Amino acid sequence: MIDRKKKLLLIQLTLFTLGVIIIIYTYFDKKQSEEQIISPENQRNIISKLNVEENSEGDIFYNIKYSGIDLAGNRYILTSKEAINNKSNPDLVNMKFVEVNFYFKDETFLKVISDEGVYNNKTLDMIFEKNVNAFYEGTELYADKANYSNLKSFLTVTDNVIVVDQKGNLTADKLLFDIKKQSLNIISFNNNKINAKINLQ
């Protein structure tokens, strides 16, 4: 009877010891794997695979693309070679080397490209700056700045505006392109004249 109790006690101690060893091994193995997951080297690898870099202003993304439909029902595709999200305002994305194509219901399209831009992914508004070029139905436009308002369905082009067209060329202070009506208004400040060369042939 005593031998049987000793055997049971020995088996219980052995099972208990094995249980403790398994728990300790599992805990330390899990801790090591967690440390590996959050190690800086692994973070850099994950970030590089996601094509994202850390920056003091925000995260940097490469070759991004936004597409959607504006309030006027026109489809657009916005691309950028480099973009930084804004930590203070998550709705804003600062972009470099920007291109947007608006596809209108009448099957025409407007292309706008610029060196820099800002996209509001909530309101869908866009700002284009530095070397702004726009192309619409054979007409080319050059300026320093352009603003697209989704709510008003307007593209406002300002600063050193030059329009090149087969019918003639003009320079102005400001152009308003109504995307709904697909009409163009030309504005000059301080009673300055609009400089235009028109081909009457």
- pLDDT, tens digit, for every residue of 6-39? 777 777 778 778 777 887 777 665 555 554 555 6
What is the DSSP track for 11-58? HHHHHHHHHHHHHHHHHHHHHHHHHHHTSHHHHHHHHHHTTEE--SSS
The answer to whether residue 197 scores a pLDDT higher than 50 is no
Cα distance between residue 136 and residue 156, in whole Å: 15
pLDDT classification of 42: cutoffs 50, 70, 90: low
Candidates 174, 167, 170; CA nearest to 190 is 174
Q: How many residues comprise the chain?
A: 201
Model pLDDT, residue 49: 53
| Average pLDDT over the chain, rounded to an integer | 77
Model pLDDT, residue 98: 93
Q: What share of the chain in percent tops pLDDT 70?
A: 75
Model pLDDT, residue 138: 85
Cα distance between residue 94 and residue 115, in whole Å: 11
**Most confidently modeled range among 21-35, 89-103, 165-179:** 89-103
The answer to whether residue 73 scores a pLDDT higher than 50 is yes
Cα distance between residue 28 and residue 25, in whole Å: 5
